[in-house]
Amino acid sequence: MSTSDSDTIADTPVDTETAPVENTNRKQPFPRGFLETIFTGWADREALPSPARPQSAYTAARRDAVSAAFAGRRLVIPAGSAKQRSNDTDYPFRAHSAFSHLTGWAADTVPDSVLVFDPTHDGHRVTLYLRERADRTTAEFYADASVGEFWIGPRPSLAGVAADLGIDTDHLAAFEPHDDDVRLEDDAELTRFLSELRLVKDEYELSQLREAVAATARGFDDIVADLPRIIATERGERVVEGVFHLRARTDGNGEGYDTIAASGPHACYLHWTRNDGRVIPGDLILIDAGVEVDSLYTADITRTLPVSGTFTPIQRRIYETVREAADAAFAAARPGVKFRTVHEAAMSVIAQRVAEWGLLPVTAQEALDADLGGQHRRYMVHGTSHHLGIDVHDCAQARREMYYDGILEPGMVFTIEPGLYFQIDDLTVPEEYRGIGVRIEDDIVMTADGPVNLSAGIPRTADEVEAWIARLSS
């Protein structure tokens, strides 16, 4: 059954003499007896007040920062609308990250809600406009499959949302756009500011990221434990994806991004999400996956596993080189250094090792030249790090001088994810290297004392990975 099964009917109890009749080729009219009785015979529902969410103090501080930066300007930050998947079915709704960051409303956000900053003499009056519940006093209750409670279940009341989030609320119909509105989707300055506002995480955000990493670790354990079934299934990559999805939906809101389950040569395709291949003993499988918890904060972790349980000598050489690069990047990450230093440290190791293996037409030092080099990037074309948070690639609209050329500060959360990828048809590498792809990715929080690896508990070294597989998949 679709979630858009009928057209909206007015927000008032229906007049049985003039009740609308659905006359499409698949909708049945409502008979008089139904219309005369549908609004009666229901028990009263007591609306119990709920305490404000634990993040409400943090979201209030974020809104204050926005208000101070945009004094005298009316700001409009929509949650977004449901997006059509096909015909009359929609994708699962996810609110815009900036909206959730400023409200604390996350997986349970009502679509089409709008956060508005109205300027006042001393700042802004902030109001959250949302569609009021289509309960049993409205015709929508039974007649509108997109919002009616008969179809999708109860939605929160205005008063309930106000108490829950600590924000004044009003009905969506009361929202009036102005010609001089600064709208998030149209204004580059507001978009940039809200992105940079997320560069340093507060304690609530850090707690959510720790939860996301812990759930993701359980998901990786599930995959390792199910390796025999994964190997036995024709499209084993799909089983990997499905096993992780079960964990993500059980322990969180879902995945923070499409799972990459890339076995054999597929591991050399950086964003392989087709996930339709066999998982064959003797190959490696690269799994890049992250659980998004209900607050919408996500982990982003990659592990590369030997399907048979043991690395071959060539696989181990490549794997341990990637781990060496990751460890060098971690060692380079310190408060006060530039963010790009992390990438440079990893790439130095990559260049040195592939040069030693005879894969470069130049020396490692020449390859690392910023203007004339880059030959080693053939085998690792992506960056080593990105910020992580409510988006998997968080703060993406921040200025370069605040991001790539920015300074690492306590509270920043980012990935370290070097890799080596030797395409199956790459004639610049020996045949025994071709079709091998390795990435190791961890989630790092910077503290005043240095970096902390949030995902360090997931096996990382070649020996640890082999022991992990032996312990869980036997």
Are residues 359 and 225 located together in one domain of the fold?
yes
Distance between CA atoms of residues 119 and 288, nearest Å: 44
Under 8 Å CB-to-CB from 153, ≥6 apart: which residues? Answer: none
Are residues 333 and 462 located together in one domain of the fold?
yes
449-454 own/partner pairs: CB under 8 Å, 24+ apart = 450/333, 450/334, 450/335, 451/330, 451/333, 451/334, 453/330, 454/209, 454/210, 454/213, 454/299, 454/413
Are residues 249 and 374 located together in one domain of the fold?
yes
pLDDT in tens, the chain (474 residues): 444 443 333 333 444 444 444 445 667 789 999 999 999 998 887 766 678 899 999 999 999 999 999 999 999 999 999 999 999 899 999 999 999 999 999 999 999 999 999 999 999 999 999 998 877 888 888 988 888 888 888 888 999 999 999 999 999 999 999 999 999 999 999 999 999 999 999 999 999 999 999 999 999 999 999 999 999 999 999 999 999 999 999 999 999 999 999 999 999 999 999 999 999 999 999 999 999 999 999 999 999 999 999 999 999 999 999 999 999 999 999 999 999 999 999 999 999 999 999 999 999 999 999 999 999 999 999 999 999 999 999 999 999 999 999 999 999 999 999 999 999 999 999 999 999 999 999 999 999 999 999 999 999 999 999 999 999 987
Amino acid letter for position 249: R
Residue after which a domain boundary falls, among 196, 223, 243: 196
Distance between CA atoms of residues 19 and 183, nearest Å: 39
Tell me 14's DSSP state. Answer: P
Are residues 216 and 89 located together in one domain of the fold?
no
Quote the number of domains for the chain: 2
Are residues 191 and 213 located together in one domain of the fold?
no
Are residues 352 and 268 located together in one domain of the fold?
yes
Closest to 81 measured CA to CA, from 44, 114, 59: 114
Are residues 360 and 469 located together in one domain of the fold?
yes
**Quick check: 271 and 261 in contact, CB under 8 A?**
no
Are residues 176 and 154 located together in one domain of the fold?
yes
Distance between CA atoms of residues 443 and 432, nearest Å: 31
Strands 413-416 and 436-439: unpaired
pLDDT tens digits, one per residue of 56-114 = 999 999 999 999 999 999 999 999 999 999 998 999 999 999 999 999 999 999 999 99
Residue after which a domain boundary falls, among 162, 196, 230: 196
Q: Could you tell me the sign of the dihedral formed by the alpha carbons of 253, 393, 388, 378, in that order?
A: positive
Distance between CA atoms of residues 282 and 231, nearest Å: 11
Name the strands in the sheet holding 284-289, side by side, starting at the edge strand that comes first in the sequence.
260-263, 284-289, 301-306
Amino acid letter for position 396: A
pLDDT of residue 268: 98
425 to 284, 307, 312, 318, 324: CA distances (angstroms): 17, 22, 20, 18, 26
The residue segments making up the domain with residue 185 are: 32-196
Dihedral angle at the C-alpha atoms of 147, 153, 155, 157, nearest 10 degrees?
110
pLDDT tens digits, one per residue of 399-413 = 999 999 999 999 999
Closest to 414 measured CA to CA, from 251, 209, 220, 253: 209
